[in-house]
Structure formats: structure tokens, C-alpha cells
């Protein structure tokens, strides 16, 4: 939708409403595939109702992106390794439940504590299997042992 728009700086909710859009939910090759890919000047995405769907390179190569107001997920929503390839990302609010081990925020080393807690709080309770979310060492250092324990008590490994 916005792919390779190199002059776009902000996506404003008064101009875009995607809340009625239906996307394939789980596969990382569908849904929000490359929606903002290559938007090199993009700094902020307000809540435009972006639906929970696969996040495959969705925010890849967004070199200046600092804020994703709302990222909607469902238990089966998947993301590929380049979904959040935006090193300046500071603010993200997760709405819904992360239920797959495909989310990787390790390159987003500037995430705020509130953003990290939004991710931790969105993790689905797991009782079987191996589940992991990649936050990276820099982000893990921002969390207390008690906050990390919130994830492990839900059955997740923080990597």
C-alpha cells in the first residue's frame, strides 16, 4: 500500500481507516506483506486500524520509524525475521495476543520500557512446546528480572 514511498513521514488516522479491511490472518507471506517496506523517511504510524495479519517485511527498511501506535495481533499471527527491521523504533503498542514464535524485535534496540512490556503482556499463556520471542540483549537489559519472569511464567523464552 505504501511500499517504497520514500517521502512519506507520517501516516495519519484522519486520512486512513483500514479497520474494515479483511486480511488472511496467520501466514507471514500474506496479510500486511511489505505494507510500509522501504518508507525510508517514515517516522510515525498512527492507529489507522491496520488489521491483525501476517507481518512479512511489513516495516522492513523503515530507517526512521520511531512509532507504531498500534500493532494488532491474534494467536496465529505470524511475522518474518524482517517484519520489524527498523532500528529507530521506540514506541509500539501490541493489541491482541502473540501466540507464535515468529516475532523478532532484536534489531529495534531503542524500544522503550513501555513498548517492551506491551510485548511481554501480549504473550499468550503456553503450557506445552517451546516458545520464544526475540528481543535482543539491549532490550532484555531494560527489563527487570521480575518482568522477564512474567514471560517465562507464561511459557516463553526471551531471546
| Cell matching residue 40 | 525510508
Distance, first Cα to last Cα, the chain: 32
Torsions phi, psi for 45 (to 5 deg): -120, 110
| In the block, residue with C-alpha cell 517514515 | 42
- Would you give the distance in Å from CA 147 to the centre of its chain? 19
Contact indicator for 75, 97 with CB cutoff of 8 Å: yes
pTM of this structure: 0.93
pLDDT value for 21? 81
Helices (H), the chain: 113-122, 137-140, 145-153
Tens-digit pLDDT string for the chain (159 aa) = 899 999 999 999 999 999 888 765 544 456 888 999 999 999 999 999 998 888 999 999 999 999 999 999 999 888 888 899 999 999 999 999 999 999 999 999 999 999 999 999 999 999 999 999 999 999 999 999 999 999 999 999 999
| Cell matching residue 54 | 501476517
Q: Which residues contact 28 (CB under 8 A, 6 or more apart)?
A: 54, 55, 56, 78, 79, 80, 83, 102
Amino acid at each position: 500500500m505504501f511500499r517504497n514511498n520514500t517521502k512519506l513521514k507520517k501516516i495519519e488516522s484522519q486520512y486512513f481507516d483500514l479497520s474494515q479491511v479483511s486480511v488472511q490472518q496467520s501466514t507471514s507471506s500474506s496479510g500486511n506483506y511489505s505494507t510500509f517496506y522501504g518508507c525510508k523517511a517514515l517516522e510515525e504510524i498512527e492507529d489507522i486500524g491496520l488489521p491483525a495479519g501476517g507481518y512479512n517485511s511489513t516495516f522492513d527498511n523503515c530507517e526512521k520509524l520511531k512509532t507504531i501506535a498500534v500493532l494488532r495481533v491474534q494467536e496465529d499471527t505470524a511475522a518474518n525475521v524482517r517484519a520489524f527491521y527498523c532500528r529507530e523504533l521506540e514506541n509500539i503498542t501490541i493489541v491482541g495476543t502473540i501466540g507464535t514464535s515468529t516475532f523478532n524485535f532484536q534489531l529495534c534496540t531503542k524500544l522503550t520500557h513501555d513498548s517492551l512490556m506491551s510485548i511481554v503482556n501480549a504473550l499468550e499463556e503456553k503450557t506445552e512446546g517451546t516458545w520464544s520471542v526475540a528481543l535482543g540483549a539491549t532490550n532484555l537489559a531494560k527489563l527487570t528480572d521480575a518482568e522477564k519472569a512474567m514471560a517465562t511464567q507464561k511459557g516463553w523464552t526471551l531471546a
